[in-house]
Amino acid sequence: MKSLTLVVVITLGLTAAKGVAQDMDPTLQGFWTLNVEKSDFAGRPKPKMGFVNWGEHGWTFGIVSADGRLYADAVSTDVGCTLIGVFPNYSCEVEAITPRHVRFTVKQGSTIRRIRDIELRRDGFIQTIHRVIPPGGAPYIEKTIWERQGGK
Can you give the pTM of this predicted structure?
A: 0.81
Q: Which amino acid is at 133?
A: I
Q: Is residue 32 within 8 Å of 126, Cβ to Cβ?
A: yes
Q: What is the DSSP letter of 12?
A: H
Domains of the chain from N-terminus onward: 20-148 (2.40.128)
- Render pLDDT for 1-27 as a digit per residue (tens, 0 to 9): 443 333 333 333 333 344 565 688 999
Candidates 54, 57, 10, 49; CA nearest to 28 is 54
- Render pLDDT for 51-95 as a digit per residue (tens, 0 to 9): 999 999 999 999 999 999 999 999 999 989 999 999 999 999 999
Transcribe 29-55 into DSSP letters: -EEEEE-TTT-B-TTSPPPSEEEEEEE
- Residue 14: what pLDDT? 34
